[in-house]
Amino acid sequence: MIDEEEEQQSLMQEVVSKVRRLYQRLLICNLQDQMKTKNFYIGSAFLVATTVSLWLLSNPTPNFNTIMTQTHKQISNIKNIPENLRNSNTEDLKVDPMILERLGFHGISSVAFTPQKDTTKIVVKNRPVIATVALPGQYRRLMGLIKSAHFHLPDKTILIYNVGLDSGNTEKVKKHCNKTALCVVKKFEFDKYPSHLKDLDTRSFRPIVIQETLNDYGSVIWAEPSEYFIHGHVTQLLKQAQKVGIVGWTIKDPVSSITYDKMFKFFKVNVEEYYFLESVKTSHLILYNTEKLHKDVMLPWVRCALIENCISPVGCQNSVCDYNRKPLYIYAGCHKYDMSALNVILGKVFDYMHDSYKASEQLFGILDSEKFNVTTPKVSTRTRLNEIKI
């Protein structure tokens, strides 16, 4: 008789365990999609009923007291699940302080967005390097960018971070760089950072690479192979960046249209503030490692990039964008990851006004890579979000 009861209890525990796992997955989806309280309790009641029903089917003659005891336990467990999830999410928001220290953010706790006191040694240089990334399948575009930089800005050092270019093309790039002292190829060490940075689609590596460059060189013209230099007249742009800390090129789509709502909640801001704030592209920037940029912009941007739930909130995606929506500020269905994060931060730092950091003139254009000629570039411009590579 005792063996039979133990077998029944074991079976009950197995059934309950399966139902609890199913419920946890359902609850996570409910919480992430902000399901209404009514639906949450309906789901809870359904799963409790399912637990009891499955047990009754597996044990036709259960003891009534046992039913009540087990049901009460499962209701208690269900009540505790949200609290457990909240504790887990709190852990997910932490960043290894050693990573922040290595990136030049000294005296920062694992959960702080800004330092409690100024213990940071900031390096600022007036002669920025040109930094870019070598991405898989973009060898020709990369070489076009490098050639345009050599032609228009021959006195600038070019720093190339390899984040996935194949070995054969990497050797070609190195061979090209060996011809000049102003070209450096550096492999980005993904193993030093959280594993989600390896997902190149989210571009979560971008803030980290930029911060590494600022640490080493103090200022940078960040330019990725999606566009190319069309001239070398950068004096006014550099002066603007020195004053503000950052200069970028905007598109017509407001920040609210490219940002998943959960990212706004992460930064504790209201989406309404971003309805008419133009979005800066993160593929092309000029940055000076000023104290304000370092503490107010780069630190929260880097922290967000290191936290997967911030840079890529569950439920977001970057496809099937609705560009025919009205009004324009409505979310288009496409989250832009690091670009979204930077623009949310810039809105907070600059009081939701983009005039001070918006580039005053064009520096980049789209060139025909098949007919690329640095002396007579064929330039075309584009601003629609679905046409640019970010």
Is 341 found in the same domain as 266? Answer: yes
Cβ-contact 350, 211 below 8 angstroms? no
How many structural domains are present in the chain?
A: 2
Q: Which residues pair with 134 in a beta bridge?
A: 162
Domain end call among 52, 75, 92: 92
The residue to which tokens 């922040």 are assigned: 100
Is 7 found in the same domain as 151? Answer: no
DSSP letter string over 104-173?
Answer: T-TT--SS-SS-SS--------SSPEEEEEE-TT-HHHHHHHHHHHHHH-TTS-EEEEESS--HHHHHHH
By residue range, what is the domain housing residue 26? Answer: 2-92
Domain end call among 76, 92, 108: 92
Count of other CB atoms within 10 angstroms of residue 321 = 19
CATH of the domain at 106: 3.90.550
- State the pLDDT at residue 83: 42
Is 222 found in the same domain as 293? Answer: yes
Q: Can you give the pTM of this predicted structure?
A: 0.73
Q: Per-residue confidence of the chain (390 residues) as pLDDT tens digits?
A: 544 555 555 555 554 455 455 444 444 444 444 444 444 445 555 554 555 454 444 454 445 444 454 444 444 444 444 444 344 344 456 889 999 999 999 877 655 544 444 445 555 566 899 999 999 999 999 999 999 999 999 999 999 999 999 999 999 999 999 888 899 999 999 999 999 999 999 999 999 999 999 999 999 999 999 899 999 999 999 999 999 999 999 999 999 999 999 999 999 999 999 999 999 999 999 999 999 999 999 999 999 999 999 999 999 988 888 988 899 999 999 999 999 999 999 999 999 999 999 998 999 998 654 444 444 344 444 343 333 344
Is 362 found in the same domain as 247? Answer: yes
Is 286 found in the same domain as 210? Answer: yes
